[in-house]
Amino acid sequence: MEATPLSTLPYQVDVFTHVPLLLSKVDELVWTSAIAALGSHALYNRKEPTVQQFFWFSGVLEAALLYYVLDVRPASGPVIAVLLANAVYWITLVTSIVVYRVFLHPLRRFPGPLLSQITRLHMAVINYKHETHIAIQKWHQQYGDIIRVGPNELSFAHADSVAGIHGAHSAKVTRGPWYDGNPGEEAKSLATTRDLSNHHWRRRVWEPAFSTKALKTYDYRLVRLLDIMVDQLHKRSGTIIDWGDWTDFFTFDVMGELGYGHDFGMLEKGTQHQYALYIHQSLRLLVFFSAIPWSATLWRWIPLSPQAKADTLEFWNFARTRFEQRIKEGSDRDDVFGYLLHADEDSGKTLSRPEIESDSRTIIIAGANSTALAMSFLFFFLLVDRKRFAKLREEVDSIWDGSSQLDGLTLGQDKAPYLNACINEALRVMPPGPNGMQRRVPDEGHFVAGVFVPPETQLSVHAWTMQRDERFFTKGTEFIPERWIDAERPAGFAHDSRAFIPFSVGNFGCVGKQLAMLEIRLMTTTVVKNFDFELDPQFDPQAFLDDCKSNLTLTKGPIPVKVTTRSY
């Protein structure tokens, strides 16, 4: 009901002595709306509603308002009364939320940017602009090792915090709501399920696919694809190629082969497959919606890049076709997909069809892009730093004469220490997944490095900031592979391997790490043996680094390289 102007009140009142009476006469609807807003906030605060619950609850309130208005028939007319009540409701709700989050919230003692304390929208916009890794690093430098990056979220950047969030002391810590923000996901995948026990048995189904026995059976497939790559590079000898493209071609073809039973033909054709382009686009949407997970259900109606949405739909359609083709081939093929069709040995459970479909998409999304990035950055550093390229080549020449079949599984630390040091160093300076992997504190709260974190808080470790921090790695932004070899580490160099988490660690750590390492070792050894590389003289390494952005993974510009068949 609209406030009755004071002049029309039927009797003269003294505002200061008759306030309650005045209020009751003037604003019954206003007060009711304000109280409803405060009640709603209290309710939402106890349990965050889903989008459906929110709409249901708001619908009930609107219906009650309508009933009241039609019943009481306020003098201002029903339309004004409804508008006024809604304005009061929403203004009170928003004010109450802001005041609570800034002044009363259990995380109020943790510093951080004000806008992030108030709303996740701030982070969603930063994510959408691909600036997350830089923004969070800047905030850590400004506010310290533990910062508030969302109303209910903390970011950590100290090596001491890794065990409590991902490692040995994190048994009850599960994934946060970030993992619900995958638009259109019909069934949870291994990489998005938030339920600890569900994740546990599904992980048991996945793990055999990356055992040494399984890797041995993949080895010859990788070598077949590498042979195609080598042929193609010979054909392009003396020309400039984008090295980033070729790492994509290789890793997408590998994951197509191991995920869907057939490569994507990217190496053969020497062009990007639409599938890879779709994935890059769909990640743009993912990072926005994951910051505000409830909005993912509304993704079709939220006005974000129509191109990214169209590409996301194409990506699903394409993935579905590939999935349908592969599932017909059954479990006899030696590939990752084949393992997903097996039952969990402990519980006897098998994945449902939608779960397998979701997991098969994960094989490509999780497996191809990150590995390609690691290969791209590795070569970027080695080609900028010719002495280190030469040193690596010396090691490669000493362990492989190029005529025998290369056994990737033997290229570990013992046999190829410098190769592994270079890979680690590229993963440290440019971690493909630079931003924190969100976790959620159990209901009883949780200690991280001696600091109590209140129940239900979301938290993560910011890999980009921590891996480049001088306290853990001296000259943290520089590519110095020698730091990974005890005998070669410069004297006095800080080296805290707890702060090195490119594959994450613990229950949810990368299940495909050994496959990724196998691919990188095999590919690097093969091409370093067979080709000379030279960066295009026009290429500006600093500008390249400055232009690197992030969505779920880092993104990068082209790396133009003249590739030439090696002359001995």
- Are 378 and 423 a contacting pair, CB within 8 Å? yes
d(CA 432, CA 463): 10
φ/ψ (deg, to 5) at 231: -55, -45
Residue 15 beta carbon to ligand HEM: minimum distance, rounded to whole angstroms? 59
Residue 33 beta carbon to ligand HEM: minimum distance, rounded to whole angstroms? 42
Which residue, 366 or 416, has its beta carbon nearer to ligand HEM? 366
* DSSP code of residue 298: G
370: contact with ligand HEM by CB under 6 A: yes
Judged by CB under 6 A, the stretch of 17-25, 65-73, 126-134, 429-437 that binds ligand HEM is 429-437
φ/ψ (deg, to 5) at 113: -65, 140
Question: Considering only CA atoms, which of 322, 366, 331, 326 is closest in space to residue 350?
Answer: 331
366: contact with ligand HEM by CB under 6 A: yes
Which residue, 119 or 247, has its beta carbon nearer to ligand HEM? 247
Which residue, 284 or 428, has its beta carbon nearer to ligand HEM? 428
φ/ψ (deg, to 5) at 411: -85, 40
422 has binding-site annotation: no
Q: How buried is residue 20: exposed, middle or buried, by Cβ count under 10 Å (0-12/13-18/19+)?
A: exposed
Partners of 439 in beta bridges: 175, 459
d(CA 408, CA 422): 16
Residue 193 beta carbon to ligand HEM: minimum distance, rounded to whole angstroms? 7
Which residue, 113 or 433, has its beta carbon nearer to ligand HEM? 433
d(CA 564, CA 30): 77
Q: Which one among 30, 69, 136, 191 touches ligand HEM, defined by CB under 6 A?
A: 191
The residue with tokens 């730093």 is: 385
Which residue, 73 or 342, has its beta carbon nearer to ligand HEM? 342
Sign of CA dihedral 74, 78, 83, 85: positive
Which residue, 316 or 508, has its beta carbon nearer to ligand HEM? 508
Partners of 460 in beta bridges: 155
279: contact with ligand HEM by CB under 6 A: no
Binding mask 326-365 for ligand HEM (x = CB under 6 A): ------------------------------------xx--
119: contact with ligand HEM by CB under 6 A: no
Which residue, 85 or 340, has its beta carbon nearer to ligand HEM? 340
Partners of 242 in beta bridges: 560
Residue 532 beta carbon to ligand HEM: minimum distance, rounded to whole angstroms? 25
Judged by CB under 6 A, the stretch of 34-42, 229-237, 317-325, 368-376 that binds ligand HEM is 368-376
Question: Considering only CA atoms, which of 220, 230, 222 is closest in space to residue 529?
Answer: 230
461: contact with ligand HEM by CB under 6 A: no
Residue 214 beta carbon to ligand HEM: minimum distance, rounded to whole angstroms? 11
Task: Give exposure, 386-421, as e/b (b: 16+ Cβ within 10 Å).
Answer: eebbebbbebbeeebeeeeebebeebeeeebbbbbb
203: contact with ligand HEM by CB under 6 A: yes
Residue number of the CB closest to ligand HEM reads: 512
286: contact with ligand HEM by CB under 6 A: no
Tell how far CA 158 is from the center of its chain.
20
Q: Which one among 26, 136, 154, 437 touches ligand HEM, defined by CB under 6 A?
A: 437
128: contact with ligand HEM by CB under 6 A: no
Residue 206 beta carbon to ligand HEM: minimum distance, rounded to whole angstroms? 6
Residue 229 beta carbon to ligand HEM: minimum distance, rounded to whole angstroms? 17
Count of chain residues binding ligand HEM (CB under 6 A): 23
167: contact with ligand HEM by CB under 6 A: no
Residue 456 beta carbon to ligand HEM: minimum distance, rounded to whole angstroms? 19
User: 3-state class of 299 per DSSP?
Assistant: coil
Q: HEC string of 352-374?
A: CHHHHHHHHHHHHHHHHHHHHHH
d(CA 403, CA 388): 24
Cα 483-485-489 angle, rounded to 5 deg: 45
369: contact with ligand HEM by CB under 6 A: no
433: contact with ligand HEM by CB under 6 A: yes
| Residues 481-520, interacting with ligand HEM (CB under 6 A) | 502-504, 508-512, 515-516
Question: Considering only CA atoms, which of 19, 48, 45, 23 is closest in space to residue 34?
Answer: 23
d(CA 159, CA 145): 10
Q: How buried is residue 485: exposed, middle or buried, by Cβ count under 10 Å (0-12/13-18/19+)?
A: middle
- Which residues, other chains included, contact 55 with Cβ-Cβ below 8 Å and sequence gap of 6+? none
Residue 462 beta carbon to ligand HEM: minimum distance, rounded to whole angstroms? 12
Question: Considering only CA atoms, which of 2, 564, 527 is closest in space to residue 228?
Answer: 527
Cα 508-509-510 angle, rounded to 5 deg: 120
Residue 374 beta carbon to ligand HEM: minimum distance, rounded to whole angstroms? 4
290: contact with ligand HEM by CB under 6 A: no
256: contact with ligand HEM by CB under 6 A: no
Q: Which one among 118, 159, 190, 396 touches ligand HEM, defined by CB under 6 A?
A: 190
| Residues 371-400, interacting with ligand HEM (CB under 6 A) | 371, 374
Residue 468 beta carbon to ligand HEM: minimum distance, rounded to whole angstroms? 16
Q: Which residues are annotated as a binding site?
A: 510
Q: Which residues bind to ligand HEM, rule: CB under 6 A?
A: 190-191, 203, 362-363, 366-367, 370-371, 374, 432-433, 437, 502-504, 508-512, 515-516
- Give the residue ranges of the annotated binding site for heme: 510
